[in-house]
Structure 1
Amino acid sequence: MTATMNVTTRSLAPDLARGFMLLLIALAHAPALVADWDAGPAWLNGAAKFVKSLVADNQARAMFVFLFGYGLGQLARRQTEWTSFRGLLRRRGFWLTVIGFANTVVLVPIDIVAVYGLTLLALAPIIRARDSVLLWTAGATLLPATLLLTWQSANTLIVATAGTPPTLAVYREPTLAKHLVAAIPTWPVETALCTIMVVPGMLAGLWAARRRILDEPERHLPLLRRVALTCLGVAVCARIPAALMLAGAWPVTSAPVAWLAAFAHDLTGYAGGIGLASPLTLAAYRIGGDHGPVTLALSALGQRSRSGARRSCWPT
């Protein structure tokens, strides 16, 4: 009975964090599915854009990457044979890449699944590396990752403040035949570049999983409080300018100003993504075993965050 409980009992904090993270991702991507961002009252549109930029944009993604790395660390902790585990990582990385490619060609030419698959294939050799290797690699990739994000964010910010915020429509071809072949030439390069954006947060999550920070919050309460206060405080302060620009409350006077605001926004999004996981872990500690309907709903969503099945492809 004891062995069964060890296998089947799940920690609440990672599932709760993943469920909340998915709500933020929905908030970040919902505007791309509509034809007109400005159909409602001006004040409400501005408030929605501000909240979306401050809380979700390139922060929910950073939280997802951190939790992806944490789940990988949990999986690695349960393995006893490195050769078979490395083969498992390679198979999963390969199939994630294949699924992402199919998604790009058949559905929408914007994909993240293959990015995680390719990153997993690239990082599999250092999964068991020393903490110093993980942290140095994360630090070395943080600046190029932020610059790549900034290039996307600054262009989006300039276009959005000009009154033409982009939607998914601009990425779609007029016919199915053109759509099926349009993304193939650029997909390899774009996917390879995007892997750099994943590495810093993923390795930070792997480092945290080695210490069971989300699984055993009672052992890390001071650390969780410091991370929540520091990371979220820095993220909020640094992300406000870009959020105000997107909301139309701060005019974009030049491209360098937009680039500076976008750089601060995206760099501290990594901190904010990690910081968001901390108060949710503290909340899970306070909740304990008394799960209300909101907790059950969020944790169930987080438990099925990647596949919609009872167990995701990255069981935790």
Structure 2
Amino acid sequence: MLLFIALANSHYFLRGSSVLGGYPQDGSGVDSAVIWLLTTFVDGRAFPMFGALFGYGIARIAWRQQALGPRAVRRLLWRRSLVLVAVGFLHALLLYAGDILTAYGVLLLAGAWSVRWKDRWLLVIALLFFLLGTLPSGGSSTIGGDPPDETMLPPDVATMIVNRAQTSLYVASLGPLGFVCPFMIGLWAGRRRILEQAERYRRSLRITASVGIGAAVLGAQPISLMLAGVVTPPHQSTLEVLGPLHDATGTLGGFGYAAMLALVAVRFQARGPGTVVNAIAAAGQRSLTCYLAQSVVWALVFTPFLLDLSGTLTVTTTALLAAATWLITVVLADWMRRTERRGPFEVVIRRITYRHAPR
């Protein structure tokens, strides 16, 4: 998940004579191939998985704390949401304008009530927001044509603070709407511990992985081939249909990825985790710290008054930078695991969330 997040976020900083969907259109053939890979397997597919896992985790927290009673559980989740909003706002202001933590915090403010909803309501709400996301729209990021503006690449600190504060408020207001569907499905799945009991749900997970990833790959092709320069961009009215198709099938792909990884985990459990699996698991246990560490790299590399490489790096070299950044965070997380250190931001969230409750 964190690798995909790095790949999905980093290319939006790139400048070019023509930019479409966050990708410069004047690159090499290798760049076109990388664009096809990213738009097929990563863009619009990583964040739904993130949203589903977020909802899954909230379901498990609510279950572990159920002895406190419904009101106490809601207050606990509200504290967690407020710290996400605070950390996310500072993250957006100082490091990365495309922060999603604030959106998740706002979603949890309302979603704290949904942990006690009946299953059918979770599924109905998820289906409703999924269908709304398929409606023709020009708001999909996959069809946007604008190069990075001063919010992403600020010329100075004052401009950065002013512009990003406004953008963060906008994302916090509308961003949660795009994550309602995966969040609700995550809550539903978390109640059943589907990912933790993958052996029991093996058949369902196989179907979810096959259908979800298959739909994501097929549904991505109209946009992926267009952004890769294989086909000519169609009329705007057609794009307003293809963009939501890419996003909606990406939601299914997010579910498919989560199911696939649960099945992979079963295989590793059977033979025991090795060095690589332990390192990746350590990054997962410190996911917030690793996510924020990625943004430190983006800020250093792309900010105009720092290294200012947004016009120098290509799609390919940026993807390599993203993969290297992820790898470094895995190594760092594994070092923290071996030295029995928690991620600093995980410590902050736990202290605020559980200040009056057993952990």
8 Å CA contact 1:213–1:220 kept in 2: the answer is yes
Distance, in Å, in 1 between the alignment partners of 2:288 and 2:119 is: 27
Deviations 1:64-105 (A, max 9, x none): 111111111111111122222211111111121122222233
Which deviates further from its counterpart, 48-57 or 166-175?
166-175
Which one of 62, 67, 85 corresponds to residue 48 of structure 2? 62
| Greater RCO, 1 or 2 (C-alpha within 8 Å, sep 6+) | 1
Two-structure CA RMSD over aligned residues (Å)? 2.6
Question: What's the CA shift for 1:235?
Answer: 1.5
Which one of 78, 97, 101 corresponds to residue 89 of structure 2? 101
In structure 1, what is the equivalent of residue 256 of structure 2? 275
Distance, in Å, in 2 between the alignment partners of 1:188 and 1:34 is: 24
Which one of 11, 28, 31 corresponds to residue 42 of structure 1? 28
Gaps of 5+ in 2: 17-22, 291-340, 354-358
Structure 2 residue 165 is the aligned partner of structure 1 residue 179: no
In structure 2, what is the equivalent of residue 296 of structure 1? 278
**Residues 292, 41 of structure 1: CA spacing in aligned structure 2 closer, same or farther, 3 A cutoff?**
farther
8 Å CA contact 2:81–2:108 kept in 1: the answer is yes
Deviations 1:246-280 (A, max 9, x none): 11111103112222221211011110000011121
Distance, in Å, in 2 between the alignment partners of 1:203 and 1:176 is: 38
Deviations 1:125-170 (A, max 9, x none): 12111101111111222234455986132542xx2xxxxx734766
TM-score by length of 2: 0.73
8 Å CA contact 1:38–1:45 kept in 2: the answer is no
8 Å CA contact 2:97–2:151 kept in 1: the answer is no
TM-score by length of 1: 0.83
Distance, in Å, in 2 between the alignment partners of 1:307 and 1:282 is: 26
Distance, in Å, in 2 between the alignment partners of 1:245 and 1:281 is: 33
In structure 1, what is the equivalent of residue 106 of structure 2? 118
Gaps of 5+ in 1: 1-20, 160-164
Which one of 268, 289, 296 corresponds to residue 307 of structure 1? 289
Question: What's the CA shift for 1:33?
Answer: 4.0
Identity of aligned residues (%): 34
Question: What's the CA shift for 1:175?
Answer: 2.6
In structure 2, what is the equivalent of residue 31 of structure 1? 11
**Residues 221, 155 of structure 1: CA spacing in aligned structure 2 closer, same or farther, 3 A cutoff?**
closer
8 Å CA contact 2:14–2:24 kept in 1: the answer is no
Question: What's the CA shift for 1:59?
Answer: 0.5
1:240-259 correspondence runs (5 A): 240-259=221-240
Distance, in Å, in 2 between the alignment partners of 1:39 and 1:190 is: 27
Which deviates further from its counterpart, 280-289 or 186-195?
186-195
Which deviates further from its counterpart, 304-313 or 206-215?
304-313
Distance, in Å, in 1 between the alignment partners of 2:281 and 2:111 is: 28
- Secondary structure of 1:306 counterpart: helix
Structure 2 residue 100 is the aligned partner of structure 1 residue 85: no
Question: What's the CA shift for 1:199?
Answer: 0.9
